[in-house]
Structure 1
């Protein structure tokens, strides 16, 4: 079964690129435009293995750091990767176990980090 990744990114072209890279690497992908939509998806869809989120998403009520904290609090089994081209994490921004990467994200780096979050393959 292919791992399911939730991509949270407000910029359409960036989101499409992330989705393409992850699908090409064998993942199933669900998209959300901002953190509020992502939280709705997380409530409605079981089996999400990891979340890849941007930090700055003007449309939502919270940013990617806050989304990551919520995911970590509510669903500890989900891996979290935070990406940003502008906002670097300060002390306390990253929840335990979450990873941060600067943008632009190289496709091979993205796939490697997601695989690290998911841990060793089962079976």
Structure 2
């Protein structure tokens, strides 16, 4: 990617977090990492140039990925949202507007394609 858009990856499983983060960096994204929604919100406050988030739905803490994505949509409307889950497929009414869903297990190419499409 020419302009290296900044993406926040939110995933509580360390292996998945490090793996997809490395792959996204290799694809030209600038990547921030968070292990839960609270950490994600801190990073979003400190990094106003984040263009997209890629978040898992199932995470520990007081806010899951669905709640995080709705909060981001309300607080930072320009940020693009890509949601993933291996446990269930949320209905459209459970997800915020203007988001993409990538089911687990995902491929790196699938995540890159979703982020690229969202950022257009």
Confirm or deny that 1:41 pairs with 2:32: no
**What corresponds to 1:103 in structure 2?**
104
> Could you tell me how far 1:43 is from its partner in structure 2?
1.0
TM-score (norm 2): 0.95
Q: Which runs of 4+ in 1 moved over 3 A?
A: none
Equivalent residue for 1:86? Answer: 87
Question: Where in structure 2 are there 5+ consecutive unaligned residues?
Answer: none
Deviations 1:16-41 (A, max 9, x none): 11101101110000000001110111
- Are 2:32 and 1:30 aligned? yes
How many Å separate the matches in 1 of 2:67 and 2:104? 19
Give the deviation of 1:46 after TM superposition.
Answer: 1.2
Counterparts of 1:4 and 1:63 in 2: how far apart (Å)? Answer: 22
The CA RMSD over aligned residues, in Å, is 0.9
The separation in 2 between residues aligned to 1:20 and 1:91, in whole angstroms, is 30
Q: Where does residue 64 of structure 2 map in the other structure?
A: 63
Structure 1 residue runs without a partner (length 5+)? none
Where does residue 77 of structure 1 map in the other structure?
78
Question: Which whole-Å CA distance do the structure 1 matches of 2:55 and 2:109 have between them?
Answer: 17
Q: How many residues align?
A: 118
Cα separation, 1, equivalents of 2:94 and 2:36: 18
